[in-house]
Amino acid sequence: MAQINFGGIDENVVTRDEFPLAKALEVLQDDTIAVIGYGVQGPGQALNMRDNGFNVIVGQRQGTASWDRAIKDGWVEGETLFSLEEAAERGTIVCNLLSDAGQIALWPMLRERLTPGKTLYFSHGFGITFNDQTGIIPPADVDVILVAPKGSGTSLRRLFQAGGGLNSSFAVFQDATGHAYEKAVAMGIGVGSGYLFETDFKKEVYSDLTGERGVLMGALAGIIEAQYQVLRQRGHSPSEAFNETVEELTQSLVPLVGENGMDWMFANCSVTAQRGALDWKGRFREATLPVLNELYDSVASGEEARRTIERGSTPNYRSELEAELKEVGDSELWQTGATVRRLRSKAAEKVEELG
Ligand SMILES: NC(=O)C1=CN([C@@H]2O[C@H](COP(=O)(O)OP(=O)(O)OC[C@H]3O[C@@H](n4cnc5c(N)ncnc54)[C@H](O)[C@@H]3O)[C@@H](O)[C@H]2O)C=CC1
Ligand SMILES: CC(=O)[C@](C)(O)C(=O)O
Ligand SMILES: [Mg+2]
Ligand SMILES: [Mg+2]
């Protein structure tokens, strides 16, 4: 484990150099890794581990779209693809990659199959941290570990296929065998992480729920809607409002932030833009601070978990979500986006044609 200094503060980080794949394979050579649930993280992690040479099986409900996807991805019924129950039975490392709400209903089944010495693996601190609401209390004689890729399972897979890795956090909640730590790191390497930074279950879930409700998804979507609305109400066309709110953000400026930081993105914009953005940044920070504090409180009090469980446990939770997402997709803003993207791909084809 390396101590790496982040902005002046030392943190424990595991890199692929110090814990190579060969070592991860050795640590888990006698294990059967059962990936339970084939939603978004399930495929990303299972396929990466399979390609990395681990002994992986998948558990999924039959007759679902995810089951069909698993077949398409090359998992073979009765060999590497099983019912949830059978996969949990066969796995020595049981990866609980059901939806966080779905994990509650399946917990009694899973718990029964967690015989002494097995490892229970999560990609979120949710079930364990909010165990007063989830009832997920593992037996004392199993290891309980976490590897949480910091991004979509889709990106985890794409980056892996491109030869890279997505950063993940990892944690040990319970070390029954004395090997939980090395298993967590080995799993982190196996699923295709870039570097692995150490945390605990509670910190992982508090920061993750805040991040996705905040800047990463909720705040991003909300602030985009607000600026688009202002521009439209002040007489700007849909394409102008969209380009100045989303297209330039995703195609030009955020990639520059990712490449070399905020100051680098600023430095590649006009002095006019830099002056204005530096002046307004503080206003936006102050305006959103109370909302973000309210959000963190709502995470820490368990309210966000309560709502996630309540809304995610109804029989029609998926169709309800889809209806809400469709409303977003059908809005003028995102319909404009669809048209702008079509123009973008035409432009990309043209560039290709020009060779
Ligand atoms: N989506 C992502 O990329 C990320 C997810 N995570 C975490 O990974 C875990 C899995 O998340 P996702 O892959 O998004 O899950 P998901 O929401 O796609 O669901 C995974 C699977 O659970 C099954 N499922 C849901 N409810 C069920 C029930 N009641 N009974 C049986 N099966 C049920 C679904 O059919 C699906 O195959 C969660 O803990 C999540 O917080 C962590 C990082 C990113
Ligand atoms: C992709 C990810 O890391 C999220 C946003 O936290 C999630 O999907 O839960
Ligand atoms: Mg996350
Ligand atoms: Mg999350």
For residue 351, the model assigns a pLDDT of 66
Known binding residue 327? Answer is no
Known binding residue 301? Answer is no
Averaged pLDDT, 343-347? 78
Cα separation of 136 and 120, whole Å? 11
Pocket test for ligand 2, best of 152, 191, 207 (most atoms within 8 A of CB): 152
Confidence label for 345 from pLDDT (cuts 50, 70 and 90): confident
Known binding residue 330? Answer is no
Residue pair 189/24 in contact by the 8 Å Cβ criterion: yes
For residue 346, the model assigns a pLDDT of 73
Known binding residue 30? Answer is no
> In the 3-class helix/strand/coil scheme, how is 173-192 assigned residue by residue?
EECCCCCHHHHHHHHHHHCC
Q: Which of 124, 157, 183, 213 is catalytic?
A: 124
Residue that is written with structure tokens 């992690």 in the block:
45
**Consecutive H or E run containing 167:** strand 166-174
Q: Which two tokens stand for residue 327?
A: 């409303």
Residue pair 43/157 in contact by the 8 Å Cβ criterion: yes
Averaged pLDDT, 51-59? 98
Averaged pLDDT, 75-96? 98
Q: What secondary structure does DSSP assign to 8-33, as a single string?
A: TEEEEEE-TTTS-HHHHHHHTTT--E
Pocket test for ligand 1, best of 67, 98, 144, 313 (most atoms within 8 A of CB): 98
Confidence label for 2 from pLDDT (cuts 50, 70 and 90): confident
Residue pair 201/128 in contact by the 8 Å Cβ criterion: yes
What average pLDDT is seen over the chain? Answer: 96
Percent of the chain with pLDDT over 90: 94
Ligand 1 centroid distance, CA of 50 (Å): 19
Shortest-distance Cα residue to atom 3 of ligand 2: 151
Our answer on whether the CB atom of 167 is closer than 6 Å to any ligand 1 atom is no
Ligand 4 centroid distance, CA of 239 (Å): 32
Report pTM: 0.95
| Position 274 pLDDT exceeds 90 | yes
- HSE-CB at 286 with a 13 A cutoff on CA atoms is 5
Averaged pLDDT, 335-339? 97
> In the 3-class helix/strand/coil scheme, how is 150-165 assigned residue by residue?
CCCHHHHHHHHHCCCC
For residue 350, the model assigns a pLDDT of 74
Nearest to 119 by CA among 167, 61, 178: 178
| Position 202 pLDDT exceeds 90 | yes
Per-residue CA distances from 105 to 56, 110, 113 (Å): 24, 10, 15
Ligand 2 atom at minimum distance from 216 CA: 5
Ligand 3 centroid distance, CA of 58 (Å): 22
Confidence label for 323 from pLDDT (cuts 50, 70 and 90): very high
For residue 313, report the phi and psi dihedrals to the nearest 5 degrees. Answer: -110, -5
Q: What secondary structure does DSSP assign to 42-91, as a single string?
A: HHHHHHHHHHTT--EEEE--TTSHHHHHHHHTT--BTTTEE-HHHHHHH-
Ligand 3 centroid distance, CA of 350 (Å): 36
Percent of the chain with pLDDT over 70: 99
Our answer on whether the CB atom of 153 is closer than 6 Å to any ligand 1 atom is yes
pLDDT tens column, 245-259:
999 999 999 999 999
Confidence label for 267 from pLDDT (cuts 50, 70 and 90): very high
Our answer on whether the CB atom of 127 is closer than 6 Å to any ligand 1 atom is no
For residue 199, report the phi and psi dihedrals to the nearest 5 degrees. Answer: -150, -165
Q: Which two tokens stand for residue 246?
A: 């989303």
For residue 102, the model assigns a pLDDT of 92
Ligand 2 neighbours by CB, cut-off 6 Å = 150-152, 208, 212, 216
Shortest-distance Cα residue to atom 2 of ligand 2: 151
Pocket test for ligand 1, best of 35, 36, 40 (most atoms within 8 A of CB): 40
Residue pair 205/35 in contact by the 8 Å Cβ criterion: no
Q: Please, which residues bridge with residue 144 across strands? A: 120, 174
Our answer on whether the CB atom of 106 is closer than 6 Å to any ligand 1 atom is yes
* Domains present along the chain, CATH in parentheses: 2-199 (3.40.50.720), 211-354 (1.10.1040.10)
Q: Is 179 marked active-site?
A: no
How far is the first Cα of the chain from the last one, in angstroms, to the nearest whole number? 46
For residue 355, the model assigns a pLDDT of 58
| Position 83 pLDDT exceeds 80 | yes
Averaged pLDDT, 193-210? 97
Nearest to 120 by CA among 149, 94, 146, 99: 94
Shortest-distance Cα residue to atom 36 of ligand 1: 39
pLDDT tens column, 11-25:
989 988 889 999 999
In this predicted model, which residue has the larger pLDDT, 111 or 18?
111
Our answer on whether the CB atom of 64 is closer than 6 Å to any ligand 1 atom is yes
For residue 15, the model assigns a pLDDT of 87
Averaged pLDDT, 47-70? 97
Known binding residue 248? Answer is yes
Ligand 2 centroid distance, CA of 74 (Å): 26
